[in-house]
Amino acid sequence: MPEYGIPIIFFLIAFFYASVGFGGGSSYLALLSLFLTEFQEIRTLALFLNLIVVSIGTFLFIWNDVFKWRWFWPFLIISMPLSFLGAQLQLSEKMFFLVLGCALLGASFFIVAQLLQQIKTQRPLKMYKKIIIGGGIGLLSGISGIGGGIFLSPTLNLVGWKDARIVAALASIFIFCNSLAGLGGLIASNTFSLKMSLTLQLTVAVAAGGTLGSFTANKKINTRTIKLFTAILIAYVGLRLILLHGWEFNI
């Protein structure tokens, strides 16, 4: 792929993900794993780009009065410390990519399950369930470099917690908080790694795409096709990572 094509692809990913309240970390990781070899750099850059994209969406959701602290804080109170700790785990390169591959396959499954769901009824979640869901996804976020929204949003839509727009707002804020905590964990463990030339290009690309996508999210468009495309992409890359790093088989 030509070098100038990479920022264009990241722009499109940021746009599509931000339009459904995600940061894009799963696809950033998937693509970065194809042309970067240093896995600490991959994890750092994915979390950083996540933070850029969802900071825009978070601001817009707060500005449009979709953010409600009383609904969101139980998901965040444990997830941030666990994301911070998860980012400090010293995984081997092989183990990191296997965890990432499994995480991508899992995210794909949750998205498809949500798309196939026929009945959508809203029901409350008990406090301990919110804490467990948030904490588990926060830990995975820190370990893998995925912001976590791609797990949180389909899960909450499946159980019918709130309407899709409120869930998208929570996903955006959840990704922001856990990406920030994950980056803090990388800094604390001296595994924070960025190449400034590539980081600058991709930051500009995802900031532009994230801004456009976030405005789209607040217009309530139909996003089923975007979610299906996302599920296919991350399932392919997840399977590829597992086969490549588990059995040295490339597809």
pLDDT at 238: 84
- The stretch 140-152 carries a mean pLDDT of 83
Question: Could you give the C-alpha distances from 115 to 109, 120, 231, 232, in angstroms and in order?
Answer: 10, 11, 10, 13
What is the pLDDT, as a whole number, of residue 81?
A: 94
Separation CA 21–CA 248 (nearest Å): 35
The DSSP letter of residue 162 is S
- Going by C-beta distance under 8 Å and a sequence separation of 6 or more, which residues neighbour residue 24? 10, 13, 14, 16, 17, 18, 49, 50, 53, 206, 210
Instruction: Tell me how many domains the chain contains.
Output: 1
Residue 72 reports pLDDT greater than 60: yes
The residue-averaged pLDDT of 12-37 equals 76
Q: Encode pLDDT of 191-211 as tens digits.
A: 898 888 888 999 999 999 888
Helices (DSSP H) in the chain: which residue ranges? 5-18, 25-35, 39-63, 69-76, 79-86, 93-116, 127-144, 149-159, 164-188, 196-217, 224-247
pTM (predicted TM-score): 0.83
Would you state the structure tokens that stand for residue 57, as one six-digit string?
A: 């969406």
| Domain interval for residue 68 | 5-247
To which residue do tokens 């896995």 refer? 39
Is residue 67 over pLDDT 90?
no
Please give the average per-residue pLDDT across 97-110, as a whole number. Answer: 84
Q: What is the pLDDT of residue 11?
A: 92
Identity of the amino acid at 247: W
